[in-house]
Chains A and B, each alone.
Chain A
Amino acid sequence: MLAEWAHRAWLRAKALWKRRQLERDLNDEVAFHLAMREEKNRASGMDADAARHATQRRFGNTTLVKERTLILWRWTSLETLWQDVRYGARSLRKSPGFTLVAVLTLGLGIGAPTAIFSVIDSVMLQPLPFTRPNQLVRLLSTKDGVLRDGPSALDARDYARNNHSFQSLVVYDHWRKNVNLSIASSEPEQMVVGLVPAGYFQTLDIRPVMGRLFTEEENQYGRHYVAAIGTNLWRNRFASDAAILGKQIRINDEPYTIIAVMPDAIPDWLEYRPIQLWTPFAPSDTTWLESSRGARDNTSIGRLKPGVTMEQAQADLATIAAGLAATHPIDRGIGVLLRPLADNRVGTLRPVLFMLMGAVTLVLLIACSNLANLLLARNSVRRRELAVRVAIGAGRTGLIRQLLAETLVLSLLGGASGLVLARFGLAMLAKTHLHDFPQLSSVGIQAPVLLFTLLTSLATSLLFGLAPALAGTRLHVSDALKEGGRSGSMGSRKLRFRNALVAAEMALSLILVVGASLLVQSIMRLQRQDVGARVDHLLKGHFYIPPARYPDAAAITRFSDQFGQRVRALPGVISASVTTLYPPESRWTQFIEVAGRPAPRIEEIPTTQFGVADASFLQTLAIPLLRGRDFLETDTPTSPAVALITEEFRRRFFAQEDPIGRQVHIGPPAGALGTVPGSNTWDFADVTIIGVIGDLKNAGLAAPSKPEIVCLYSQHPAVNYGFKDIVIRTAVEPHSIEPAVRHQLHDLDADMPFAEVETMDEIIADETGGQRFTTMLLSLFTAAGLALAIIGVYGVVSYLVAQRKQELAVRVALGAMPRDVLWLVLGQGLKMALVGVATGVFGAWGMRPLIGRFLFGISPVDPLTFAGAAIFLLGVAAAASAIPGARVMRLDPAHALRQD
């Protein structure tokens, strides 16, 4: 049965394309028959004329036969549909106003989900751009089950050696470094350099475009002066030099030889920022010290063996981690967590996308309700036309089919305009938010998106075209025709349906308005967070003092002090400080031990945020000193080491006592790791607390402050690394002094780039970039939804007014005041709005888990926001009804009554 149907469908489908061939064949076939018969007739003695006539008589009506035969090959339902669609398109062309509004409505409604879906498609559904991407995983460390950073190099080495699940497992890193792309260049710049073993590229299955991968030998410290560059860098900065291999560049003032050009196959999201330069991982000797086992700041990726599942690999590594925890004290409580590499691509966008998908669904629903409303109005205006068609014999099914076909045309047009809208929107999105979400660079409209849009359009036309079509064709022909010239009035049931649709639009809009205003308030609160320092007129820049020319801590201190002094002397500069920490984030963590309170076990040693600065730190950032004293010029490398602690530090460690004058040990307690004291840089100092300062935001804007301790870099040679920032308090526009600062740095060292220059305002804006992205989109969608809802209210109220024109005219003629008439109309709009708003409040309340996670400092059911949104929507509804209402007030009763 099915096979027969399929066979027929196939033959018919073929015939659809070969319509002409089919007709020609049939003509030939019949002609052959007629010729044969005629020949036979003549052979039996007839003359030519008689033979032809006899043949025709015997064959019957040739045209009819052909027609009956051809019709068998037609795809009847499809062709009827095509006819209906053409008819629908024609009738839409006749009412361009309606068509435009409907298509734009649908364009907005479908465009928004299309845009969000294409983001979901590209960051979640499309396969990663690597060979067999499902085998790729990222390896992370947990402490007591809580996610920490990557693994330490030592742990990763042990995982790589002992597992049974991975083809390869590599640990790597990336660092900001000073780069001179030519050995003689004096245009230093800062770039992020990937420190990777050859296995990094092998794991990702990326082969050089030119040259070779790093060798195992080059991965040894001291032999590592080779570099690979990305194609982009090669093209733009080396003019695609064919003889690039063997050329030298300088990284941190050491010469490196370029040995490979790599394809641009590593997407920016993989390492969270674009990397175009790689050197071997080349761990230094200290990397393999037991104390470095705790340095969990590396990155790791691996490729599973074929057939090994994530769960199996996870279990495999967990066993190894348990073994490490048992034998290495510093690994106690440390676990391992595998994540598909694809998770990296979604990153923090996942919840955002789900929330936005919810929001655009609401927009789509509003658009659809509007469409249904428009169609209802259109069908009731066309009552007479429809009735005439029924009267001359059109079946109801046929009419419904035709109305649906019209909706189908609308939906497809709407879908197409939605695609255009989505494309533009996505281009804007990618342009403005690439910095916050590098994964947006790959967003585009792919085949699944087209399918999604098509299905959405079809579903829209079916679901929301059906009810108006049913309502529009429920006709009593004689009644409809008897109504004379008047555009037919609507039954109360249809009216209720339209009112319900508008109420639904109001409800959905309320949910959107509540969500958007919660997010906006939340961002405002976030940006107004007190970071603990004065944020205006504050410039920050980064520089790196390379060990190649500044071999010891004294040289670094000298350079930093000099630079600080020169900047402080610049006109327009109030104060400046060379520092490693500034709000709102400080990522350097240290073990800490308060003198006299030894921690019994290594996993119980507390940690604190840590930073080193010069003596101008407090003054420059305008951080309040709560007790004790600030750093002084008399705190020198040779005087006792001193420290400032934040209020949170005091609360945590000196809740009951005065911290001033107390000693703390920074770094793990001597011997705790079973290593030779002094052999590692972590265990470096005892410091005396001299002052307590106000809390600094140091874990981002949204998180509470962690304890922080600030020391002088001049007093801690062991941690006086080349990485430094300078913060500058200015009297003038901060960016205006940037050239002068750069000039001072250049003057001190022509090869040192001044990088990542930003004002504190910009840093804080960056911190909220993700939230602003979410908020901007949700606000956009809300605006779209709201605009549609306004059109909905306006449309229905206008329609009602038009319907009741005579009645209202009679009222006016009998002496009703214009105000009363206006109220009558406003009342209609407000009634719908009230029902909608009441429903919407429940809806918004139900949405609280969805929106709650994006909020900061405001409850997802904030009563003020709810009330504000409700009043706002009622106002909007009143305004939308007031326009037709005003028209009524100007109504000339005599004119209106004479109209029919």
Chain B
Amino acid sequence: MADNKEQSGELLQGTLDLLILKCLAGGPMHGYGVAEWIHESSQDVLRVEEGALYPALHRLELRGLLSAEWARSDNNRRAKFYALTAAGRKQLAHETEYWRRMSGAVARVLQTT
């Protein structure tokens, strides 16, 4: 288990949620797709332990930010597709704004001295 933890990359919980929301803003996607998207768009910098994705997805579904539906994937397999709900869209906007302010502030702090 210790190895797994090291591999998982230092991803804050809230960050993973934000990434998921952002990914799904582009359209409904299954869990595997979300994992792939995160790898690709972060150019493998953000390394998510892929299993950790699922509790996060389900938590967001329970909060009503995502809706889920079973459908056929590209290669014709049954997969659970997640999509943003209206509340999810709002949450994404809200968290993006927050993240920008935070990262801006952190960057400024690091630039001084």
> In the complex, are the beta carbons of A72 and B51 less than 8 A apart?
no
Residues of B within 8 A of A8 (CB): 62-64
Say if the beta carbon of A32 comes within 8 Å of chain B: yes
Stretch at the interface among B19-27, B52-60, B103-111: B52-60
Instruction: Say whether B28 faces chain A, with CB atoms less than 8 Å apart.
Output: no
**By the criterion CB–CB under 8 Å, are A33 and B31 in contact?**
yes
Within residues 39 to 80 of chain B, which ones have a CB less than 8 A from any CB in chain A? 49-52, 54-55, 58-59, 61-64, 70, 73, 77-80
Complex CA gap A58/B8 in Å reads 8
CB neighbours of B32 from chain A (8 A): 32-33, 36-37
Q: How far is the CA of A215 from the CA of B52 in the complex (A)?
A: 84
Instruction: Given A8-B63, A25-B80, A72-B59, decide whether A32 and B54 contact each other with a Cβ distance below 8 A.
Output: no
> Contact: B50 with A37, CB < 8 Å?
yes
Given contacts A37-B32, A72-B58, contact A62 B51 (CB under 8 A): yes
Question: A11 on the interface (CB 8 Å rule)?
Answer: yes
State the Cβ distance, B80 to closest chain A Cβ, in Å. Answer: 5
How many A-B pairs have beta carbons closer than 8 Å: the answer is 78
Stretch of A63-71, A225-233, A356-364, A747-755 at the chain-chain interface: A63-71
The answer to whether A28 and B80 have CB atoms under 8 Å apart is: yes
User: Nearest Cβ distance between residue A39 and chain B, in whole angstroms?
Assistant: 8
Q: Which residue of chain A lies nearest to B52 when distances are taken between CB atoms in the complex?
A: A60
What number of A residues sit within 8 Å (CB to CB) of B?
A: 29
Question: Which positions 54-87 of chain A face chain B at CB distance < 8 Å?
Answer: 57-62, 64-66, 68-69, 72-73
Quick check: is B1 within 8 A (CB to CB) of the other chain?
Answer: yes
Instruction: Verify A29–B54 contact, CB threshold 8 A.
Output: yes
Whether B62 and A68, one on each chain, are in contact in the complex, defined by CB atoms closer than 8 angstroms, is no
| Distance of A69 Cα from B70 Cα, bound (Å) | 18
Q: Are A30 and B77 in contact (CB under 8 A)?
A: no
| CB of A237 closer than 8 Å to a CB of B | no
> Are B51 and A61 in contact (CB-based, < 8 A)?
yes
Q: How far is the CA of A11 from the CA of B49 in the complex (A)?
A: 27
Distance from A410 Cβ to chain B, minimum over Cβ atoms (Å): 35
The residues of B that contact A61 with a CB separation of less than 8 Å are: 1, 4, 51
Q: Dominant SS at the B interface?
A: helix
Given contacts A7-B64, A30-B54, A69-B54, contact A35 B77 (CB under 8 A): yes
Find chain B residues with CB under 8 A from A3 CB: 64
Residue of B nearest to A9 (CB): B62
Give A473 to B21 CA distance when docked, in angstroms: 47
How distant is the Cα of A37 from the Cα of B31 in the complex, in angstroms? 11
A12 lies within 8 A of chain B by Cβ: yes
A64-B51 CB under 8 A given contacts A8-B62, A29-B79: yes
What is the CA–CA distance of A68 and B77 in the complex, to the nearest angstrom?
25
Given A11-B62, A32-B73, A37-B32; A65-B80 close (CB under 8 Å):
no
Which of B30, B32, B52, B79 counts the most chain A CB atoms within 10 A? B32
CA gap between A25 and B4 in the complex, in Å: 25
**B35 within 8 Å of A by Cβ?**
yes
Chain A residues 1-45 with CB under 8 Å of chain B are: 3-4, 7-8, 11-12, 25-26, 28-30, 32-33, 35-37
| B80 and A60 contact, CB distance less than 8 A | no
- Determine if B30 and A32 form an interchain contact, defined as CB atoms under 8 angstroms apart: yes
Closest to A35 in B: B77
Contacts of A29 in B (CB 8 A): 30-31, 54, 79-80
Question: With A60-B51, A65-B55 given, is the CB distance from A12 to B31 under 8 Å?
Answer: no
Q: Chain A: which residue is nearest B87 at the CB level?
A: A4
A33 lies within 8 A of B78 (CB): no
Contacts A4-B63, A60-B8, A61-B1; is A33 near B50 (CB within 8 Å)? yes
Cα separation A59 to B48 with both chains bound (whole Å) = 9
Identify the closest chain A residue to B30 (Cβ): A32
Are B4 and A60 in contact (CB-based, < 8 A)?
yes
A32 to B50, CA, bound (A): 13
State whether the Cβ of B13 lies closer than 8 Å to any Cβ in chain A. Answer: no
Most buried by B among A4, A11, A32, A66: A32
Contacts of B8 in A (CB 8 A): 60
CB nearest to A29 among chain B residues: B80
The answer to whether B51 and A65 touch across the interface, beta carbons within 8 angstroms, is: yes
Contact A65 B54 (CB under 8 A): yes
Nearest-CB distance from B52 to chain A (Å)?
Answer: 7
Query: A147 CB to closest chain B CB, in angstroms?
Result: 63
Shortest Cβ distance from A118 into chain B, in angstroms? Answer: 43
Give bound CA distance, A8 to B60, whole Å: 10
Q: Are B55 and A72 in contact (CB under 8 A)?
A: yes
Q: 0/1 per residue, A582-609, Cβ < 8 Å to B?
A: 0000000000000000000000000000
CB distance B78 to A69 under 8 Å?
A: no
Q: Measured between alpha carbons, how far is A37 from B35 in the docked complex, in Å?
A: 10
CB distance from A199 to the nearest CB of B (A): 60
B7 contacts the other chain (CB 8 A): yes
Residue of B50, B70, B73 near A59 (CB, 8 A) is B50
Whether the Cβ atoms of A33 and B77 lie closer than 8 Å is no
Interchain nearest-CB distance for B68 vs A (Å) = 9
CB contacts (< 8 Å) of A58 on chain B: these are 49-50
- B49→A32 contact, CB < 8 A: no
B31–A72 contact, CB under 8 A? no
Instruction: Specify the chain B residue showing the minimal Cβ separation from A40.
Output: B36
How distant is B12 from chain A, measured CB to nearest CB, in Å?
A: 17
Contact A28–B78 (Cβ < 8 Å)? yes
Output the nearest chain B residue to A65 by Cβ-Cβ distance.
B51
Q: A29-B31, A37-B32 are in contact. Are A59 and B63 (CB under 8 A)?
A: no
A60:B73 contact, CB within 8 angstroms: no
A contact residues around B1 at 8 Å (CB) = 61
Q: Is the CB of B49 within 8 A of A68?
A: no
A69 to B51, CA, bound (A): 10
| Shortest Cβ distance from residue A629 to the other chain B in the assembled complex, whole angstroms | 100
Which residues of the other chain, A, contact B78 by a CB distance below 8 angstroms?
28, 32
Q: How far is the CB of A65 from chain B (nearest CB, A)?
A: 4
Which residue in A32, A57, A69 is a CB contact (below 8 Å) of B77? A32
The residues of B that contact A26 with a CB separation of less than 8 Å are 54
Which partner residue on chain A sits nearest B31 by CB separation? A33
Contact indicator A59/B80 (Cβ below 8 Å): no
Give the docked Cα–Cα distance between A252 and B62 (Å). Answer: 79
Residues in chain A near residue B79, CB distance under 8 A: 29, 32
Chain B residues positioned under 8 Å from A4 (CB to CB) = 63-64, 87
Query: Can you spell out 13 A-B residue pairs with CB atoms less than 8 angstroms apart?
Result: A4-B87, A8-B63, A8-B64, A12-B62, A32-B77, A35-B77, A36-B73, A36-B77, A58-B50, A59-B50, A60-B4, A69-B55, A72-B55
Q: Give B contacts to A, CB under 8 Å.
A: 1, 4, 7-8, 30-32, 35, 49-52, 54-55, 58-59, 61-64, 70, 73, 77-80, 87
Beyond the given A32-B31, A72-B59, could you list 6 further A-B residue pairs with CB under 8 A, ordered by the A residue number?
A4-B63, A25-B80, A65-B54, A65-B55, A69-B55, A72-B55
A-B residue pairs, 5 tightest by C-beta: A60-B51, A65-B51, A7-B64, A33-B32, A36-B32
